[in-house]
């Protein structure tokens, strides 16, 4: 979904302040990380990570509940269609779930509440911290390095894809007003 940032940038109203652009970028990042917000209850509630992580928040059915308020907040910040932002948020949320299902570990409850089973790919594509076995602190560093490396790779691919004939990524410019002569 990081590849979609140029699309999001293109859909916002021209002349958006830098503060609002930063807020919008933060919301886009939040939409990618939203399924992991279940970790907050672990930190505040003193629960073990295995008791609440990768459960209900990693369900494809939770994404629309996140997407609606996300969409209206994005529309308030940047203008544009709330439907566009809602679809974007659902796709970003789902991409996180599918990537977690392709991570070494115990899988995710992808279809909760309809099914309690955990789903994962037969062969893991990414390294992830195995919370269920009490991972050491350095395992989190490996996970962060893996995530940053994968994100950097996607960013480089997106940047290369958007480059045309040596030009940089297209920037959003305010439309020019023509006066009748």
Q: pLDDT digit string (tens) for 100-120?
A: 888 877 788 899 899 988 888
Per-residue pLDDT at 62? 93
Per-residue pLDDT at 80? 83
- Dump pLDDT digits (tens) for 49-73: 666 677 788 899 999 999 999 999 9
Per-residue pLDDT at 27? 86
Per-residue pLDDT at 4? 60
* DSSP states along 121-152: -SS--B----GGGT--HHHHHHHHHHHHHHHH
Query: In which residue ranges of the chain is pLDDT below 70?
Result: 1-14, 43, 49-52, 127-137, 139-140, 144, 147, 151, 154-155, 158, 162-181
**Contact status, residue 81 vs residue 10, Cβ threshold 8 Å:** no
Length of the chain: 181
Give how far Cα 103 sits from Cα of 33, 40, 96, 98, 121, Å: 15, 21, 11, 9, 8
**Contact status, residue 2 vs residue 20, Cβ threshold 8 Å:** no
């Amino acid at each position: 979904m990081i590849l979609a940032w140029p699309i999001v940038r293109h859909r916002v109203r021209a002349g958006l302040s830098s503060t609002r652009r930063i807020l919008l970028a933060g919301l886009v990042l939040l939409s990618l990380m939203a399924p992991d917000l279940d970790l907050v209850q672990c930190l505040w509630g003193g629960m073990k990570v295995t008791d609440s992580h990768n459960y209900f928040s990693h369900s494809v059915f939770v994404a629309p509940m996140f997407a609606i308020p996300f969409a209206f907040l994005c529309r308030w910040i940047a203008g544009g269609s709330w439907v566009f932002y809602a679809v974007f948020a659902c796709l970003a949320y789902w991409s996180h779930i599918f990537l977690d299902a392709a991570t070494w570990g115990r899988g995710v409850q992808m279809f909760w509440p309809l099914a309690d089973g955990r789903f994962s790919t037969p062969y893991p594509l990414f390294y992830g911290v195995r919370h269920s076995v009490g991972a050491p602190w350095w395992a989190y560093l490996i996970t962060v390095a893996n995530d940053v490396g994968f994100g950097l790779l996607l960013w480089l691919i997106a940047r290369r894809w958007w480059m045309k004939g040596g030009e940089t990524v297209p920037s959003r410019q305010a439309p020019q007003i023509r006066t009748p002569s």
